């Protein structure tokens, strides 16, 4: 079997470059939100109230259940967590 190398784990496990890009973006935003929440040093219940979500929904985020969050939902949560998210779009080399 020939060894393959990938730019990211998402490129290795997703079916297309578009799906991999979506998962990478969602993962990056989710990790940033989790880092902010960890810094609050509060219970999940209090953190959930700060983010205007339910505690079970916050639990999904903290456990990394990425499949339960759209990029749009994560962007909204990032904003509520005090983060500013920028999207950089670049043209791939031909």
CATH code: domain of residue 18: 1.10.260.40
For residue 52, tell me if it sits in a domain: yes
Give the global pTM.
Answer: 0.83
Percent of the chain with pLDDT over 70: 87
Q: Is residue 1 part of a domain?
A: no
Two tokens at 39? 């810094």
Q: Does residue 22 sit within a domain?
A: yes
Mean pLDDT score of the chain: 89
Domain count along the chain: 1
Q: What is the dihedral of CA 38, 36, 52, 88, to 10 degrees?
A: -140
Asked whether the beta carbons of 80 and 51 are under 8 A apart, the reply is: yes
Strand ranges, E, within 3-92:
none
Specify if 92 maps to a domain.
no
Q: Which domain holds residue 75?
A: 9-80
Q: Is residue 20 part of a domain?
A: yes
């Amino acid at each position: 079997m020939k060894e393959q190398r990938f730019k990211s784990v998402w490129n290795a496990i997703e079916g297309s470059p578009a799906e991999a890009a979506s998962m990478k973006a969602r993962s990056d935003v989710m990790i940033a939100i989790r880092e902010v929440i960890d810094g609050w040093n509060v219970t999940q219940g209090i953190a959930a109230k700060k983010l205007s979500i339910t505690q079970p929904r916050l639990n999904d985020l903290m456990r990394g259940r990425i499949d339960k969050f759209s990029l749009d939902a994560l962007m909204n949560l990032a904003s509520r967590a005090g983060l500013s998210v920028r999207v950089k779009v670049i043209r791939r080399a031909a």
